[in-house]
Amino acid sequence: MRLYLMALSLSALAPLALAAGVVEVNFKPVDELTDVGHGSLEGERNVKALSDHFRTLAARLPDGQTLKVDVLDVDMAGHVKPSRLGGDLRVLRGGADWPSLDLQWSLLEGGRAVSSGKDRISDLTYLQQPLRLGATGPVAYETRLIDRWFDQRFGSKAP
């Protein structure tokens, strides 16, 4: 009986631990974005990675809030250069090749807008600060940029 009551009380608390907001993200078509990767396959893969990252931010929103983000443009860090080995390389120099995103967003609570805006976010010094531990992959600088924007705009509440 005691075990049954403990399991029942824990199951009642589970929804509270999982309570979080929602993030809905939409991108313009890949061929309309400034630079989201070389070719449509890489572009789609990077858009998916960025979309997935936006959605992880839902855990940092209060329950009942929905963040709607329209990504109007992406210009990834670095420039794509052809390689003699057949593939293309993304070269990061830290000059005028910083990452930037154009976002239009609205934060909803109970179905009505609490705040909204349009932001152009960029990181001119993207190579001068280290990435967080474990941050790797083709969109590492862009996800850091998204995290910073989210923290500045909505606070840095940890899940």
**Over the Cα atoms of the chain, what is R_g?**
19
Q: Are 89 and 83 in contact (CB under 8 A)?
A: yes
Residues β-bridged to residue 112:
109
Residue 4 scores a pLDDT above 50: no
Name the average pLDDT for the chain: 85
- Could you read off the pLDDT of 88-108 as tens digits, one per residue? 777 788 888 899 999 999 999
Rounded CA separation 19/63 (Å): 5
Give residue 156's pLDDT band: very low, low, confident or very high (50, 70, 90): low
Q: What is the arithmetic mean of pLDDT over 102-128? A: 94
Helix (H) or strand (E) holding 83: none
Rounded CA separation 43/25 (Å): 16
Question: Above pLDDT 90, what percent of the chain?
Answer: 58
pLDDT of amino acid 19: 64
pLDDT of amino acid 124: 92
Rounded CA separation 159/59 (Å): 5
Residue 87 scores a pLDDT above 80: no
Residue 14 scores a pLDDT above 90: no
Q: What is the arithmetic mean of pLDDT over 135-151? A: 91
Q: What is the arithmetic mean of pLDDT over 38-61? A: 94
- Could you read off the pLDDT of 16-36 as tens digits, one per residue? 445 689 999 999 999 999 999
Give residue 5's pLDDT band: very low, low, confident or very high (50, 70, 90): very low
pLDDT of amino acid 6: 46
